[in-house]
Structure 1
Amino acid sequence: MSWLEALGWTGNGFYFSRFFVQWWQSERAGKSVAPPIFWWLSVAGAATLGTYAYLAADSPLFVGYAITFVIYVRNVSIAYLGERAGRIGAVPALLLGLGASLLLLRFGTTPAGAESASRPWLIAAFLGQAFFSMRFVIQWYATEKLGHAYFPRSFWWFSLIGNVLLLAYAIQRGDPVFIAGFSAGPFVQIRNLMLPPMIPVLPPIEKT
């Protein structure tokens, strides 16, 4: 195994472990939660896999990891600084997230090797990636609106739909790396949907 491959598998390890940590913390709390360690593992995974994609000259993946890296860092700052992190605002966050997603689509989102797949499988892969990209746009919007890291239930629905589509595509391709990466996701996502949702703490109404 080359050092570049080791870098890629290390990034997958960060991404793979973050939802198990989130799941464990949620089981302890008895409800779906967003622990700070989830965002730290996400930052590490995005930085590692983003570097891997850059060195591998995979511009579509690099753009995707760069976009999510910014969202993860923003969640870390909100989790630790609270109101001191400032507010971007829910609507600007949504517009920025949608703009970033469109930038990702502009660079292309079809996985490598997809040219050998049939059109229905290409559509499944595209839709899966679209849902996966939008889930953190939705999460960012909710976080900026409330002022603290928050997983709305729609985040888990988008995650589940995108994960199932991408897992089906990975199985069709017979890619063991993608199959391993997407196999555990549905269990964590379904469990979070079964747990009581996080209760949003609305910001106080400013007196005029």
Structure 2
Amino acid sequence: MESNIWHFALGFLAQGLFSARMLIQWVLSEKAKKVVSPTIYWQLSLLASILFSIYGWLRGDFVIILGQIFSYYIYIWNLNSKSNWKTLHPVIRQLILILPVTALIYVLANKGLATDRLFSNISVWLLLFGSAGQIIFTFRFIYQWWYSKSKGESVLPLTFWLLSIVGSFITIAYALFRKDPVLLIGQSFGFITYSRNVWLIIKNKNEDKPNSKTQ
């Protein structure tokens, strides 16, 4: 029971960082009157991803870990595109880069333990349902990476937020089935901020249309 408390404490810390990045991004976007992609958003994302992956392992939840696998390196790419990644000490950068690889080697070397821990306490349909939500979450960052590369800068486009809403809705439902307060509270807050960013982007596009016609 005591260990579960510490597990949830770590999970809430990670979700707190995820929520903080959204809150900061929301405030800065409101101030700029448009959706922005601040450096601190990606810094907090990377730190939260590491902590949340550990929580996923302690919780024995493959779906949580799946959601962090690909987005982890996209966070790093965004930090690099903002010229922030190289400000870290080279040793710290190397440790961050090899952390997922080290974790994968550990899992492969302990297949029986990993299988029992991550898949024995969840039904197949719930695993697929939760994974679908995380795949959508992962794809939003793949899309954001592709879109940002085409623009030559780190940006958060409308489709990113629409995918976030869909993924968040599925994850909230998954959290209810899994009785996971960390996922439930974190995604509920995220759902609100995702919706607000969609509204802000659409509002700005509608305001730009009359301006373009008068030019």
TM-score normalised by structure 1 residue count: 0.68
Per mean C-alpha deviation after superposition, the further-off stretch among 7-16 and 177-186 is 7-16
List runs of 5+ in structure 1 lacking aligned partners: 83-106, 200-208
Distance in 1, Cα, partners of 2:160 & 2:119:
23
Alignment of 1:114 with 2:119, yes or no, is no
Distance in 2, Cα, partners of 1:8 & 1:63:
15
Counterpart amino acid of residue 15 in structure 1: F
Alignment of 1:78 with 2:81, yes or no, is yes
* Aligned residue runs from structure 1 range 46-61, under 5 A: 46-53=49-56, 61=64
Which residue number corresponds to residue 29 of structure 1? Answer: 32
Describe the superposition over 1:175-208 as per-residue Cα deviations: whole angstroms up to 9, x where unpaired: 3222112111121111101113699xxxxxxxxx
Q: Aligned with 1:21: secondary structure? A: helix
Match of 2:188 among 174, 183, 186: 183
Shift of 1:4: 5.3
Aligned residue pairs, count: 171
Shift of 1:42: 0.4
Shift of 1:20: 1.1
Which residue number corresponds to residue 69 of structure 1? Answer: 72
Match of 2:155 among 150, 153, 158: 150
Counterpart amino acid of residue 192 in structure 2: F
Which residue number corresponds to residue 87 of structure 1? Answer: none
Shift of 1:149: 0.6
Distance in 2, Cα, partners of 1:45 & 1:181:
12
Alignment of 1:20 with 2:23, yes or no, is yes
Match of 2:146 among 141, 144, 153: 141
Which residue number corresponds to residue 199 of structure 2? Answer: 194
Distance in 1, Cα, partners of 2:63 & 2:127:
16
Distance in 2, Cα, partners of 1:176 & 1:28:
31
Describe the superposition over 1:87-113 as per-residue Cα deviations: whole angstroms up to 9, x where unpaired: xxxxxxxxxxxxxxxxxxxx99x9884
Describe the superposition over 1:38-95 as per-residue Cα deviations: whole angstroms up to 9, x where unpaired: 001001111222344456776664464242221101101111269xxxxxxxxxxxxx
* Aligned residue runs from structure 1 range 86-101, under 5 A: none
Per mean C-alpha deviation after superposition, the further-off stretch among 18-27 and 59-68 is 59-68
Identity %, equivalent residues: 31
Q: Aligned with 2:82: secondary structure? A: helix
Task: Tell me: CA distance 1:47–1:125, structure 2 relative to 1, closer, same or farther (3 Å).
Answer: closer
Which residue number corresponds to residue 170 of structure 2? Answer: 165
Give the CA RMSD over aligned residues: 3.3
Distance in 2, Cα, partners of 1:189 & 1:173:
23
List runs of 5+ in structure 2 lacking aligned partners: 86-113, 206-215
